[in-house]
Structure 1
């Protein structure tokens, strides 16, 4: 070695060749290391069809895939994953507008929704653009293709009655009275004036008192008073007082009989004077005392009340649609109008369509479908009770014409007209108490 050249070997021994080193750490953590796995590492045995090579990873037991290999086996990107909607458990029904609703039935084949695709309900007092413009120039919608009858037994014969919570009393057609042999028992001195759905007065020809019972529960006998009409679109109507006292809509619903909807026959809607009781609800955050009528198969609004709503123009129907009242007379619907409906001022609302009828003897009438949807007879809601006065009772039984639509029904009072004086022994008319529990 020369004195002027530096060589490290003169001072240090040569370095040994590099050898693999396995670094081992002491694990003092309480977590079970065997169950730990990095987020980005996916064991091969989680993928079907991939062979285990036997090479060892950190724990000597599992093989791992690179990002590229994982992407080949999984079509989803490994970096950004969008939430995947779970399969729906069952189809969801969608509420549709009068325009989009199927004219024969409610379809259950709508596209199912999940928790990721479901559109949230709009906040209170915040109508959506779609809800405000649905149903323009649409036809009156059909609801459920069924209705409920109440089979009654009178003089040993079964008579199909319409159970009508909007009727103040019980009614019978002259034809039914004749077929039951009751003409000689009809007291024609007790004639009263009622009001049709369009405000037209109509007088009964008398009344009859008869024992009756339920065809599906014949053990219970009741003495009922029926007002007789020369023309009535149904054989028999059982009113709110009778239905309430017998608990037909609450405790004994088994007495009712379902009747299938037929497109070949006009559907019937019964509504007899119920102006003495109102169901409190809110339309566009405005308190409304509506008539609750199981005899009506559609929600109605008077033209006068509809015109008082600011920013709610009445939308005309596609074509003239006539309805038939209890005496066979007819009238045309004016149109339809949307409104935000809720049971309480602070509760959530739904957009509901009301069909407008000129001369309707009440502001708002809730039909059987709405009453069923809100389970009205099992709700406790505030009600407005009117007192018995000399105003006319109203009889509102309405039939759809030209189409197999549902019957409309409503009832009210006709100011200025008076009843005949009450005679001794006459029961007169009593205040009704239609109580909604819940």
Structure 2
């Protein structure tokens, strides 16, 4: 009796056809070859071009897993000849070193130059001085004269500021400086948060346009409670959903909940646009079955990501995007057109004041900073919330969001009107300062200008 021979035929998971074209990209759902007849997949029922990418305007829903619990990013560098692993913080207004680092390496601190750092919840922290140094990247010869702010109990040894990283093109042209590797502890992944972020990225959350703060130090995405309620997001306030957040000075705060399965998309949403979740009617349970994003691949025009956002009260900005979302999608290069400078308060003015924070997500069992809480004391000078510069900065952010929500043919005129208003405000403010003397940091110029790093000079080696 002859043996039976079984022939296994692959069938398309969308139409059931057995047609196979090996030159086609693999199916995004099951990993096998895509059907050569219908050119569709079970997840994406849309036409695909020869590159395998969507050619229409439909969303592709993906979820970025959280490798930042096991991985971290750093930059090998040298400070005064001392080898360091610097933390690239795109939302830091200052270059910072911990006081413990200066003590271990016997570096001289200038105790006369103090800086007030504003934490995201409105509290303040005084630095213990400043450090002038010669800085260079690993395997590079260019030297930089950098001034570092020395911070007691800093959770990072060395933090590089947003301006310095942008001037040196570390996130774009020379992104190979940034290394990524496994960490020995799950507590290493960091979240950087800034009181008044200087750089923002335009995007949409569940179809609502918003300017978010791209924080390469973030371990989790964060959203302000007020903004979450304004766009009617459902906040899970279960005690088990709350997390402990550690600021850069080691002080802690507790989140007031979490928002699950939020859709984030780079770029502003069209007028009256619904999110992919709303358009497809996908429930939260079905949203968990979206594609796993390939970490490190470029985000495309219609890429939408399902994320969880921790909710923090009195947050200084609407949304903070974490490092996983930024590094995982190569956002600084793939979505460069959506990044813009915040026309707000000058973050650094002769080291008088700065808004900066680094946060770390802390499990409940971790008790290193359990006895350290953020101080409720305020500086004796004018509260930051009552300064006219801060009010103007907030108004500019609201106006930017309003203009971005307008139809395209109306945005140019709205931008020009806003520029005139900002120039008039700057003129009135400069006149007042000439009479009373400049006591507060001035707002940045609204005219386009090349970025320049704080306290950084390049010297030939």
TM-score normalized by the length of structure 2: 0.59
Q: Tell which has more relative contact order, 1 or 2 (C-alpha 8 A, sep 6+).
A: 2
Equivalent residue number for residue 352 of structure 1: 307
When residues 389 and 324 of structure 1 are mapped into structure 2, their CA distance, relative to the original with a 3 A threshold, is: closer
Structure 1, 291-300 or 233-242: larger mean CA deviation? 291-300
Task: Encode CA deviations 1:295-327: one digit per residue, 9 max, x unaligned.
Answer: 1132211111111112x2112464542122222
When residues 211 and 389 of structure 1 are mapped into structure 2, their CA distance, relative to the original with a 3 A threshold, is: closer
Does 1:192 find its partner at 2:115?
yes
SS in structure 2 at match of 1:190? coil
Does 1:377 find its partner at 2:338?
no
Equivalent residue number for residue 106 of structure 1: none
Equivalent residue number for residue 386 of structure 1: 343
Contact 2:76–2:83 at 8 Å: present in 1 too? yes
Distance 2:99 2:388 in 1: 24
When residues 194 and 113 of structure 1 are mapped into structure 2, their CA distance, relative to the original with a 3 A threshold, is: farther
Does 1:143 find its partner at 2:67?
yes
Quick one: which of 233, 244, 248 aligns to 1:322? 244
Equivalent residue number for residue 356 of structure 2: 395
Equivalent residue number for residue 177 of structure 2: 255
When residues 223 and 82 of structure 1 are mapped into structure 2, their CA distance, relative to the original with a 3 A threshold, is: closer
- Give the drift of 1:418: 10
Does 1:84 find its partner at 2:23?
no
- Give the drift of 1:284: 2.6
Residue segments in structure 2 that go unaligned for 5+ positions in a row: 10-14, 47-55, 271-300, 367-382, 390-432, 453-461
Structure 1, 386-395 or 236-245: larger mean CA deviation? 386-395
Distance 1:256 1:375 in 2: 12
Distance 1:231 1:313 in 2: 36
When residues 161 and 429 of structure 1 are mapped into structure 2, their CA distance, relative to the original with a 3 A threshold, is: farther
When residues 343 and 319 of structure 1 are mapped into structure 2, their CA distance, relative to the original with a 3 A threshold, is: closer
Structure 1, 224-233 or 246-255: larger mean CA deviation? 246-255
Q: Superposition pairs for residues 16-27 of structure 1, below 5 Å? A: none
RMSD: 4.3
When residues 112 and 300 of structure 1 are mapped into structure 2, their CA distance, relative to the original with a 3 A threshold, is: farther
Quick one: which of 116, 119, 139 aligns to 1:216? 139
- Give the drift of 1:86: 4.5
- Give the drift of 1:90: 8.8
Distance 2:199 2:26 in 1: 39
Normalized per residue, the structure richer in helix is 2
Equivalent residue number for residue 156 of structure 1: 81
Distance 2:443 2:82 in 1: 28
Equivalent residue number for residue 29 of structure 1: none
- Give the drift of 1:166: 0.8
Equivalent residue number for residue 400 of structure 2: none
Residue segments in structure 1 that go unaligned for 5+ positions in a row: 1-48, 50-71, 95-109, 135-139, 406-412
Distance 2:196 2:27 in 1: 36
Equivalent residue number for residue 288 of structure 2: none
When residues 304 and 387 of structure 1 are mapped into structure 2, their CA distance, relative to the original with a 3 A threshold, is: closer
Equivalent residue number for residue 416 of structure 1: 386
- Give the drift of 1:351: 3.1
Contact 2:241–2:257 at 8 Å: present in 1 too? no
SS in structure 2 at match of 1:307? helix
Does 1:165 find its partner at 2:90?
yes
Equivalent residue number for residue 182 of structure 1: 107
Contact 1:262–1:404 at 8 Å: present in 2 too? no
SS in structure 2 at match of 1:208? strand
Equivalent residue number for residue 269 of structure 1: 191
Distance 2:134 2:7 in 1: 77
Task: Encode CA deviations 1:107-154: one digit per residue, 9 max, x unaligned.
Answer: xxx8768556521279989999xx9xx9xxxxx973343221012212
Name the larger-Rg structure: 1
- Give the drift of 1:243: 0.8
Contact 1:361–1:414 at 8 Å: present in 2 too? no
Q: Superposition pairs for residues 224-235 of structure 1, below 5 Å? A: 224-235=146-157
SS in structure 2 at match of 1:313? coil
TM-score normalized by the length of structure 1: 0.61
Distance 2:363 2:339 in 1: 39
Equivalent residue number for residue 424 of structure 2: none
Equivalent residue number for residue 44 of structure 2: 120
Distance 2:76 2:318 in 1: 32
Equivalent residue number for residue 286 of structure 1: 208
When residues 190 and 246 of structure 1 are mapped into structure 2, their CA distance, relative to the original with a 3 A threshold, is: same
SS in structure 1 at match of 2:103? helix
